Structure 1
Amino acid sequence: MIEIHKKDDILIPFNKIGDPDWKINTKKIIEAIADNFGDDLKKPVSKEEILALETKLGTALPENLKLFYETFGIADIGEQLQDFEEVDWIKDIWSDAPQYGPDFTEEDKLLLPYLISFSDYLGNGNMFCFHSETKEIYYYDHDDKPYLTKFFDTVDDYLKGCLIFAQNDFSDDKEIDNWTEEIVIDLLDEKTVKKWRY
């Protein structure tokens, strides 16, 4: 278990996935999340399963997302990584009933053909997506126009942010939310964190 009594106790799992200690640090956090909620750890995803998903989508997943899946599976990272049967082009989500879909802006419509969802933000209808060509990470926010906003250059920053914020549950100290937020703002930027968390 990770014990947090001060800001310095919060574990930053990696700068980039593939760093020397990324597996050790990430494993510590993922095991602590599972332990905290009494959940079982997820099994690693095989290369064959990843290839089958890429074939279905017709495009490659971001390399470091694949590495994460192959190492930790569809792990609980404090947010809900989608099961592979749910990972899909977001333009297709409302294709059968467009009247229930968002009224996308012209700006959104330029991005829509390229975005694939892979994570639900706390089950509230918002999603994180990757760009099929650039592999950048976009946020779909059902409350704000434009609905689609570029958040991160790489999936590493998304996963790292989630794993830092997940540590909020490891302590009763009321300051911990502020500590994790300060850390993620330093790593990313305040505007991104405010839109993400609020």
Structure 2
Amino acid sequence: MKIFKDLPALVQALPELALSDWVDLPADAAAQLDAPHQSPAADLLKQPALRFVVRDANEAPRMGHKPWMPVAVLAQMHWPSPSDAVAWSRFLQAEFGRSQRFVENHDVWDEADLPEPYWQPADASLDQRLAHWYQGLQAHAWMDEEPAQARPFSRAELRLCEWRLGCNLPESLRDYLLQLGVLDWAERLLSPCFDLVAPDADMDAIGSVQVVFPGIADIVEMSAPEQALALKAQLSELVVFGDYLGNGNLWCFDRRDGSVWYLDHDSSPLLTRMFDDVGDYLDALALMSLCRSHAVAQGRDDGDEQAEVLLEKRFGRALIRKWMY
């Protein structure tokens, strides 16, 4: 175990540390970094009294401390020289802070503010897609008579998630989590943050099918031997990022090409390729929220039916029926 008096000292020592080592923080400092409306990350990480404890991965954190980052993730970052105070602060805020783009408080939408449901054009820019997803979040919040509140994750949190997965998050999912980050809206997304003490028991975090849905082992076991081998190989390439209505049917992306698959444990086939990209799925969630809120604003109760029609026109009846029924 090694204790570093400040972050620059830790960064300087990174080349000498084992990549498998972990860095821990005092529990109160870790809580401040995790707080939704935290102080600037640069200020928190530069506190004079803050100490960074490095331990072997097989050791438990010392009393009063919590895991923060593995050395492997910190070593991936392109650290500037701490002697350049401006660059150092900007870097800490960019890596460990959270985007403020959508986090300012907004009033609850008036009915007049509700847009009609719409799709973004196929060549929509990232800014246009983010605006569409945010409108979907606003529409969902309006149904609960609440203002939409973005809850973005930091770049460091996503780096840690990717380190655990051993692959990159799809670009559109990464953009959504960095800028918006709301996990519960039209359907439930899983968190990029996982239990740092018992990650293989965390079924609410983005992770392998085997961790998020342990029951998959029974399904594979009941398959014919050749089918079981093929199924194991396919499942090993899938990462779960969403839970359809909390019923155990899962949304997954393929770590090789980012395509989106639906795991339906209730009916055959078990796995269905649904979308080319997670962004298509997020577009669909935004449309569903807009359809529901627009129908309610007009005194109708057919928002889900309207969404289904529009989804079928875009993605085909067979895929939408697999999803919805």
TM-score band, normalised by shorter chain = 0.7 to 0.9
* Aligned partners of 1:168 and 1:176 also within 8 Å: yes
Give deviations 1:131-168, integer Å, cap 9, x for gaps.
01111100010111331111111111111111111234
Deviation at 1:45, TM superposition (A): 1.1
Partner of 2:93: none
CA distance in 1, matches of 2:318, 2:276: 15
For residues 55-74 of structure 1, what are the structure 2 equivalents within 5 Å? 55-74=163-182
Residue 81 (1) aligns with residue 208 (2): no
For residues 157-196 of structure 1, what are the structure 2 equivalents within 5 Å? 157-170=280-293, 171=296, 172-196=299-323
Partner of 2:234: 111
My pick for the range that moved more, 16-25 or 123-132, is 16-25
Q: Which has the higher contact order (CA 8 A, sep 6+)?
A: 1
* Aligned partners of 1:77 and 1:159 also within 8 Å: no
CA distance in 2, matches of 1:97, 1:144: 13
CA distance in 2, matches of 1:97, 1:191: 24
CA distance in 2, matches of 1:13, 1:189: 17
Deviation at 1:59, TM superposition (A): 0.7
Partner of 1:127: 250
Secondary structure of 1:21's counterpart equals helix
Deviation at 1:97, TM superposition (A): 9.3
My pick for the range that moved more, 169-178 or 111-120, is 169-178
The answer for unaligned runs of 5 or more in structure 1 is none
TM-score, L = length of structure 1: 0.84
95 and 31 in structure 1: CA distance in 2 versus 1, 3 angstrom threshold: closer
My pick for the range that moved more, 30-39 or 137-146, is 30-39
CA distance in 2, matches of 1:92, 1:139: 16
Match of 1:154 among 252, 260, 277: 277
TM-score, L = length of structure 2: 0.53
Secondary structure of 1:67's counterpart equals helix
Based on CA coordinates, which of the two structures has the bigger radius of gyration? 2
Give deviations 1:83-142, integer Å, cap 9, x for gaps.
222211113446699458774572533311101101000011101000011111000101
125 and 91 in structure 1: CA distance in 2 versus 1, 3 angstrom threshold: same
Partner of 1:46: 154
Question: In angstroms, what is the RMSD of aligned CA positions?
Answer: 2.8
Percentage of matched positions with identical amino acids: 25
The answer for unaligned runs of 5 or more in structure 2 is 1-108, 195-204
CA distance in 2, matches of 1:177, 1:48: 37
Equivalenced residues, count? 195
CA distance in 2, matches of 1:77, 1:14: 23
Secondary structure of 1:149's counterpart equals strand
